[in-house]
Amino acid sequence: MQIIVVENYEEMSLRGAEILAAVVKEKPTATLGLATGTTPIGAYRELIRKYENGEISFRDARTVNLDEYVGLDGSDPHSYRYFMQDQLFSHIDIDLSLTNVPSGVAADLAAECMRYTKMLAECPQDIQLLGLGSDGHIGFNEPGAPFGGHTHVTDLAASTIRDNARLFDRIEDVPTRAITMGIADVMQAKKILLMANGKNKAEAVRAMIKGDVTEACPASILQRHPDVIVILDREAAGLL
């Protein structure tokens, strides 16, 4: 695990975007595993800047997102499909038919999980971008999620609902379930880039890097992946 500590969110975003851009430059047909949430917004902004400068193109790239809220359609501004359109896809030259986000409104969610797992196995991520939950989750693999798991529907932890309530009008509006890649789907990525910033991630960062590898801290499994880069700002690295 390579750990990079930087001063602030801005620097974390620049470093993260450099790593993602390098993958696409080396392999234009790369499969990029992407995340939503507040953490990657700055890195996506920087990727858009690189695209606008003519430094990179996403024309032949494919993307696979980690997760989606159950019950939210892609046209809902709180959905992760909408987030990706808004924060990245609509600003770059990606072929939308090559972008994948699990569907949270599939009539048969179990079938959707199987479809997504199969799709991931067929085009493994050249790089998977991850944020980190304050409870140590990656994707929406909450504490206790099995390390061998594939795409599944999960209940969100109470702390995750609280953390995500900032993006909704009322906490009651936060969906309580999500469809997420499993840990085994994340671990199949050739390379993993995890970014975390802010004080409220410091304990999860400590458990991920210094703690035992245990399903109680899903991110701790990353200690067993051969190619992981972790970029932290000073506050998130505060307990290392």
Q: Kindly list the strands in the beta sheet with 152-155, ordered across the sheet, starting from the edge strand earlier in the chain.
A: 67-69, 177-180, 152-155
Among 66, 189, 219, 236, binds ligand F6R (CB under 6 A): 66
Among 38, 57, 85, 188, binds ligand F6R (CB under 6 A): 38
**What angle (nearest 5°) sits at the alpha carbon of residue 195, between those of residues 190 and 201?**
135
Question: How many C-beta atoms lie closer than 10 Å to residue 43's C-beta?
Answer: 28
Nearer to ligand F6R, 38 or 214 (CB): 38
Number of residues that bind ligand F6R (CB under 6 A): 14
Beta bridge mates, 154: 178
Using CB under 6 A as the binding rule, whether residue 139 contacts ligand F6R is answered as: yes
Q: Where are the alpha helices (DSSP H) in the chain?
A: 9-26, 41-52, 80-87, 109-122, 158-164, 183-187, 202-210
Using CB under 6 A as the binding rule, whether residue 81 contacts ligand F6R is answered as: no
- Rounded to a whole number of angstroms, the minimum distance from the CB of residue 209 to ligand F6R is 16
Using CB under 6 A as the binding rule, whether residue 37 contacts ligand F6R is answered as: yes
Tokens of 57: 């193109």
Nearer to ligand F6R, 21 or 40 (CB): 40
Nearer to ligand F6R, 24 or 204 (CB): 204
- Rounded to a whole number of angstroms, the minimum distance from the CB of residue 195 to ligand F6R is 8
Among 50, 62, 81, 137, binds ligand F6R (CB under 6 A): 137
Among 67, 126, 142, 233, binds ligand F6R (CB under 6 A): 67
Does residue 3 contact residue 230 with C-beta atoms inside 8 Å? yes
Q: What are φ and ψ of residue 203, in 5° steps?
A: -70, -40
3-state secondary structure of 114: helix
Options 32-40, 54-62, 86-94, 111-119: segment touching ligand F6R (CB under 6 A) = 32-40
Among 13, 31, 39, 103, binds ligand F6R (CB under 6 A): 39
Q: Report d(CA 77, CA 82) in Å as an integer.
A: 6
Interface residues toward ligand F6R, by CB under 6 A? 35-39, 66-67, 131-133, 137-140
